[in-house]
Amino acid sequence: MSTAAASYESGADAPAGSGLSADDVRERTLAGLANGEPEDSSRSLWQIFRANVLTLFNAIVGACFLLLLLLGQWKDALFGFAAVSNAVIGVVQEYRAKKLLDRLAVLDAPRARVLRDGSVQEIAVADVVLGDVAVLQAGDQVVADALILDETGLEMDESLLTGESEPVDKDRGSLVLSGSTVTAGQGRARVVAVGAGSYASRLTAEAKRFSLVNSEIRNGIGRVLRWISWALFPVMVIITNGQMQAKGGWDAAFRSGAWVEAFVGAVAGAIAMIPLGLVLMTSVAFAVGGLRLARQKVLVQELAAVEGLARVDVLCIDKTGTLTEGRVILDGVHNAGLTAPPGWQEALGWFGADPHANATARCLAATFAFDGGPAPAVVVPFSSARKWSAASFPALHSAAGTWVLGAPEMVFTEDAATGGASAGAVLEHASRLATSGLRTLVLAHSQEIIPDGEAEDVQLPPGLAAATLLTFREKVRPDAAQTLAYFRRQGVSVKILSGDDYRTVTAVAREVGLDVGRGFDARHLPTDGKLLEETLAGYSVFGRVTPAQKKDMVLALQGMGHTVAMTGDGVNDALAIKEAEIGIAMDTAAPATKAVARLVLLDGRFDRLPAVLAEGRQVIANIERVSVLFLSKTTYAVALSVVFGALMWSFPFLPRQLSATDGLTIGIPAFFLALMSNARRYNPGFLKRSLAMAIPAGIIIAAAVLAVNVYSAMMGGFSEASSRTASVVTLSLVALSVLAAISRPVSGLRLAIIAAMCAGLVLLLTVPLLQDFFMLEWPPPELAAASLAASAAGIIGVLILSHVHARRYAPDRSDRSR
């Protein structure tokens, strides 16, 4: 705390009766003790641009693109569009995430009500200063941390901050946190923390830290791109030297102008190594998955989150707002040991209809009716100190006498008489009901009328008799049990982290079909990492969990090797939601929670999550499938570049020719394959499985192309254009066999895609306009035969490889095509 802040913090500097003066406010504002929100951005646009554009990878691609444009070979620079698209998608995606975080705020109160110069004023939230006296009324959101000076029946809803669904009674001297809401009563409180020092601002600042979804697909592709970036320079040196030597040496190439063709060949080899389309295709698959989920009322705030839920093996959920709807309902009416006096139902109807009733009492109105007869002669409103409320009706009323509704232990003592049943028996019965996780109140009756006096001095009337016991519970979401059963079948374990009493949470968990055993009181949660992990492994239900504990528990689960999803709707869930691999916010969530979540269930239906899981599985399985195509291309490009550079032969393709073969064997079919239905369950090791198929496949393709060029060099007499065409045919046929191999299990649609690509190859080789653009020339019969022979050998090699790979990495039997 700063010296300036400390000097103002004691309550003695301004009397509560008049509040601060205008001079006090001016002095504190100048001292920086106003309630302004910190304006630190989560990440600057320059940082986002630099991370996505100014990279070694993009520098190499951009240099190759500019080189071809300078050489006038724009037809060979088509790869530039894919590179630009990748950079744009990355910038846009991260900028959207930044804007969400920048708008993040726990506070959404439009104005604040304070006492200044002896009068109540409404001011902007940012104008509240340290030491102000806040005037709190029902419905207000507390805009700065404050200490209660005086109160009348003040209750606060702190569920957004702490997760506790029950309203909290606040007495004189209690601390109220910024972000909480007044649900009943009124009071005045002195502000003790503002701006960055308030609870809401501290939560906001921590939640604003920038992070991206931990995507295995994106991480794997990024790792491959880093490897390629560092390999590109030495490979380009080798291939450039080989190209120049193939043109007669560096001096001869520069004198004759053949260096232009040599550089174009070097660029072709370098660009072929880069799986530009894989990055683009992954983004497209994520985006389409996001659109599909949007139709089901699931907002995907970061594209890679579509994949993330497919990898989740632990689902952490909050009770309030996730398993329950966050509202209290009457659970049951229980015999208190004697016949209830007449009028008890009407009395309950009055407590439910009372405009000053709290949330628990209000739910009685749905079951019990009040006939609107004579109003009570005396009403004692609910008080956090008393924990009961009362109403005395006149003698001629059907509910004559005094009725008290409150906590059993506050209404009765162990030795009190209850007109037929001992207080001990009533309290024991109430305790049994509470142990099952139900909120329990007692309705008691006395023939005596409460004297009309000061609320602070009011006493319970003599002769109270227990009329009935009432139990309350939160309304469980109708879709919760079915959704949790689905996750159990999928091998996803569930942890319930709630701010409520662990017994209440355990009761709700059992109601939705979870076999949870005993719950754990998080007030006794160990802080030692090892002990915390052991506790998390041994329990599934945790009550009285603080926001910081939720975050620590998510981090501990991740440290145990789990992939964690976290759902919730309160600000208390925001930090844990942010740390989890996949954060999911309900439609009723606080704005801050929605801002840090990766997914938002727009209609609040918990049963949307299985669809998200299915979509994630489709994305991750299909991207794994098409990644083999792109990575096999990288492999054969590296192999051909090194071999042809070492042999000092001309590179067998022009960049435009590789663009054509890429489109037919990889780009176009990959687009369709990436969007097809695929319900295969996720297995870790995406990159390992892809490379296990792609590297040998790429070597087989490179060997087939090399064989054709060796034959061409040995026989001699073939033009460079016909040799390149023979290489194009060989590469295309063997690469199409790789496409066929990764398309299994075969379906009509997949066969149609392969057939269409074969037809495209025929058109490429026979249509004069395409032949001219791509500089293709049909090879002589003997070279064509050599090309077909090399292709046949390559196809056989791919079939053998595919069989071995399928046996080693057998896919889940649920992999089906619609």
Q: Is residue 105's pLDDT more than 70?
A: no
What pLDDT does 591 receive?
A: 65
**Tally of domains in the chain:** 4
For residues 56 and 722, which has the higher predicted lDDT (pLDDT)?
722
Q: What is the CATH number of the domain that holds 117?
A: 2.70.150.10
Alpha carbon distance 237, 181 (integer Å): 67
Domain harbouring 525, CATH code: 3.40.50.1000
Catalytic residue among 76, 140, 318, 662: 318
Instruction: Kindly state whether residue 779 falls inside one of the protein's structural domains.
Output: yes
Tens of pLDDT, residues 387-437: 788 998 887 667 788 999 988 888 886 555 454 457 788 888 888 887 777
What would the pLDDT profile of 345-385 be if each residue is shown by its tens digit? 988 999 988 877 777 888 898 889 887 677 788 888 877 66
In this predicted model, what pLDDT tens digit does every residue of 198-209 receive, in sequence order?
776 666 665 555
Could you tell me if 274 and 315 lie in one domain? no
Tell whether the model's pLDDT for residue 582 goes beyond 80.
yes
Inform me whether the pLDDT recorded for 705 exceeds 90. Answer: yes
Average pLDDT over residues 99-123: 69
Average pLDDT for 311-321: 84
Reported as type and span, the H/E element at residue 742 is helix 720-742
H-assigned helices in 401-545: 408-411, 423-435, 480-489, 502-511, 529-538
pLDDT digits (tens, 9 = 90+) for 512-554: 888 777 889 888 999 888 899 999 999 999 988 887 888 899 9
> In this predicted structure, what is the pLDDT of residue 728?
94
Task: Kindly state whether residue 506 falls inside one of the protein's structural domains.
Answer: yes
Q: Which residues have a Cβ under 8 Å from the Cβ of 470 and sit 6 or more positions away?
A: 330, 332, 333, 334, 348, 364, 440, 441, 442, 443
The answer to the question of residue 80 being in a domain is: no
- Angle between the N-to-C axes of helices 686-715 and 781-808, in degrees from 0 to 180, rounded to the nearest 10: 160
Residues 629 and 760 in one domain: yes
- Residues 645-683: tens digit of each pLDDT: 888 888 788 878 888 888 899 888 887 887 776 666 666
Question: Residue 634: what pLDDT?
Answer: 87
Residue 4: its pLDDT value, please? 41
How much of the chain, in percent, has pLDDT values that exceed 90?
A: 15
Confidence of residue 479 (pLDDT cuts 50, 70, 90): confident
Q: Answer yes or no: do 242 and 127 share one domain.
A: no
> Using CA atoms, how far apart are residues 470 and 474, in angstroms rounded to an integer?
14
Instruction: Give the end of a domain, one of 604, 631, 651.
Output: 604
Helix or strand (DSSP H, E) at 696: helix 686-715
> Do 318 and 333 fall into the same domain?
no
pLDDT at 348: 92
Percent of the chain past pLDDT 70, that is, above it, reads 81
pLDDT tens for 10-64 read 443 444 567 888 888 888 888 878 876 655 555 567 777 776 666 666 676 777 7
Asked whether residue 377 is assigned to any structural domain, the reply reads yes
CA distance 630 to 278: 6
Is pLDDT of 795 > 90? Answer: yes
- Beta strand pairing status for 582-586 and 564-568? parallel
User: Which of 476, 502, 517 delimits the end of a domain?
Assistant: 476
**Nearest 5 degrees, angle CA 115-CA 116-CA 118?**
85
Question: Could you say which of 426, 452, 476 is where a domain stops?
Answer: 476
- Mean confidence (pLDDT) of the chain: 79
- One domain, residues 249 and 309: no
Residue 798 pLDDT = 94
Q: Which pLDDT score is estimated for 26?
A: 87
Show the domain range for 175: 3-33+106-207
Residues 523 and 405 in one domain: no
| 3-state secondary structure (DSSP) of residue 425 | helix
What per-residue confidence (pLDDT) applies to 727?
Answer: 93
439 shares its domain with 482: no
Claim to verify: residue 597 and residue 636 sit in the same structural domain? no
Instruction: Judge whether 97 lies within some domain.
Output: no
Same domain, 471 and 482: no
Q: Is the pLDDT of residue 153 over 60?
A: yes
Instruction: Provide the whole-model pTM.
Output: 0.63
DSSP per position, 1-62: --HHHHHHHSGGGS-TTT-B-HHHHHHHHHTT-B-PPP---SS-HHHHHHHHTSSHHHHHHH
pLDDT at 257 over 50: yes
Average pLDDT over residues 329-357: 85
Sign of the alpha-carbon dihedral angle for 105, 111, 117, 120: negative
Domain-embedded: residue 78: no
- Kindly state whether residues 469 and 482 are assigned to the same domain: no
Decide if pLDDT at 502 tops 50.
yes
Helix 720-742 × helix 609-647 angle, to 10°: 150
Query: Is 331 labeled as catalytic in the residue annotation?
Result: no
Note whether residue 277 is domain-resident: yes
* Least confident span in 151-165, 331-345, 368-382, 751-765: 151-165
Token code pair at residue 329:
């309902």
Tokens of 128: 């509240």
342 and 317 within one domain = no
**What confidence score (pLDDT) does residue 11 get?**
41
C-alpha to C-alpha distance for 355 and 225, rounded to whole angstroms: 65
**Region of poorest pLDDT, from 217-221, 371-375, 450-454:** 450-454
Considering the domain boundaries, does residue 85 fall inside one? no
Lowest mean pLDDT of 170-174, 274-278, 523-527, name the range: 274-278
Least confident of 87-91, 508-512, 621-625: 87-91
Any idea what the CATH number is for the domain that residue 673 is in? 1.20.1110.10
663 shares its domain with 593:
no
Alpha-carbon distance of 741 to 733, in angstroms, equals 13
